Amino acid sequence: MKTKLQEKFKEHFGEGASLYASPGRVNLIGEHTDYNMGFVMPGAIDKAIYVAVKPNGGKVCHLYSIDYDEAIDLDMAGEKPAQQWACYIYGVVKEMEKRGAKVPSFDMAFGGDVPLGAGLSSSAALESAVGFALNDLFGLGFDRAQLAKIGQMTEHNYVGVRCGIMDQFASLFGEKGKIIRLDCRSLEYKLEPFDPEAAGCKVVLFDTGVKHSLASSEYNVRRAQCEKGVSVVASHVPGVESLRDVTLEMLNQYKDEMDEVVYRRCRFVIEENQRLLDACQALEQGDYVTFGQKVNGSHKGLSQDYEVSCPELDFLADIAHANPGVLGARMMGGGFGGCTINLVKTEAYDAYLQEIKTKYQEKFGREPRIIEVVISQGAHKIA
Ligand code: GLA
């Protein structure tokens, strides 16, 4: 990718580019908890968005997307661009300006190997790569947490997804072989060693190939439902600001005042936070069996209570849950498509892959894409 990026940059804009990368992410457990001020456990992966950039001294930016093979001129003082991919870059610049930065014009080419629409946060990787690159190139002085916020607000204000902070945070703070245990309320985090191979297991993703097109609107609906539940409890209990402050007891106490759907959404989030804490403790003790059970519980909740799964994801999870060689499996990310994450005993790995391929083919007429990931370094300069 590095060579291709350099070549493409040279072809469009000449010599002298600086190169940066920011990765996609996996999340072990803790889904839809980030915007509810709860906990998440993501890690950066060995698939990234790569950016080549150079100041151009002019008034407009020149952008080139390798994957779309499309070049545009963009005046950052003008309107939001029509191309979705360019909105991410435009949004990052705007969010930087809102925070007082002056961003000179630049030439930029980018591309990557984070599968799109698979729930691996290709968009957060792009926002983080662009933010990290511009910050470094122009010495803008933002720290990584501010860059994560800039990426998140790009989604809110220029893409229309009211996402949490998990994806951008993982892309910027990830480290090789470490999982991030992040408290999304305080942004305090701990990097925990994660070495499944040493415990005799492997992590693998199966991409359903279902693109989560419904995701952005339904995602915002879920968020609003959680806020509704919080407002009911907050009208009785002082100091309640998010689902992080709500216990199951409180929720049950005011259950009659909320819609049944709102109740189930909130219950899922409260339980998911607890599952994460239990899973984390299990991991610290090297107890991958308990850890896997929590992961399975997360899928059940996401599917039945939070209703962000789809038939393809449920099918993959069902096969996994019935296979004694699989310690845990669940859908990952925002949902409505994308992939499952699986923790599999090494000795059962090959047979499991075969089982998944055969059964998925029989049911849906195609094989899921198998994605092996290595937990890797977050945003960095390459050259
Ligand atoms: C998407 C969002 C994240 C998070 C997950 C669900 O990836 O971008 O902020 O909410 O969905 O856990």
- Domain ranges in the chain are 2-195+377-381, 201-373
**Which ligand 1 atom sits nearest the alpha carbon of residue 33?**
12
Residue 333 CA to ligand 1 center (angstroms) comes to 5
Angle between helices 84-98 and 144-154 (to 10 degrees): 130
Q: Transcribe 112-161 into DSSP letters.
A: E-SPTTSSS-HHHHHHHHHHHHHHHHTT----HHHHHHHHHHHIIIII--
Q: For the domain covering 2-195+377-381, report its CATH number.
A: 3.30.230.10
**Residue 202, token pair as written in the block:** 């492997």
Q: Which two tokens stand for residue 168?
A: 């951008």
What is the Å distance from ligand 1's center to 7 Cα? 34
Hey, what are 97's tokens?
């300006």
Residues 6+ apart with CB under 8 A from 111: 1, 4, 5, 8, 49, 50, 65, 66, 67
Q: Indicate the burial class of 245 (C-beta count within 10 angstroms; 0-12, 13-18, 19 or more).
A: middle
Decide: 208 and 224 in contact? Cβ < 8 Å: no
CATH topology for 201-373? Alpha-Beta Plaits (3.30.70)
Query: Which residue has the CA at smallest separation from atom 10 of ligand 1?
Result: 32
pTM of the complete model = 0.97
67 catalytic? Reply is no
Please choose from 25, 32, 276 the residue to mutate so as to test ligand 1's pocket, defined by most ligand atoms within 8 A of CB.
32
Q: Where are the beta strands (DSSP E) in the chain?
A: 18-27, 39-40, 42-55, 61-65, 70-74, 106-112, 178-183, 189-193, 201-207, 326-331, 339-345, 369-372, 380-381
Residues with CB under 6 A from ligand 1: 31-32, 34-35, 121, 163-164, 166-167, 333-334
Task: Please identify, by atom number, the ligand 1 atom nearest to the C-alpha of residue 161.
Answer: 8
Query: In a structure prediction context, what are the per-residue pLDDT tens digits for the chain, which is 383 residues long?
Result: 889 999 999 999 999 999 999 999 999 999 999 999 999 999 999 999 999 999 999 999 999 999 999 999 999 999 999 999 999 999 999 999 999 999 999 999 999 999 888 889 999 999 999 999 999 999 999 999 999 999 999 999 999 999 999 999 999 999 999 999 999 999 999 999 998 998 899 999 999 999 876 557 899 999 999 999 999 999 999 999 999 999 999 999 999 999 999 999 999 999 999 999 999 999 999 899 999 999 999 999 999 999 999 999 999 999 999 999 999 999 999 999 999 999 999 999 999 999 999 999 999 999 999 999 999 999 999 99
* Ligand 1 centre distance from Cα of residue 166 (Å): 6
Say which of 167, 207, 305, 314 is annotated catalytic. Answer: 167
For residue 27, the ligand 1 atom closest to its alpha carbon is 12
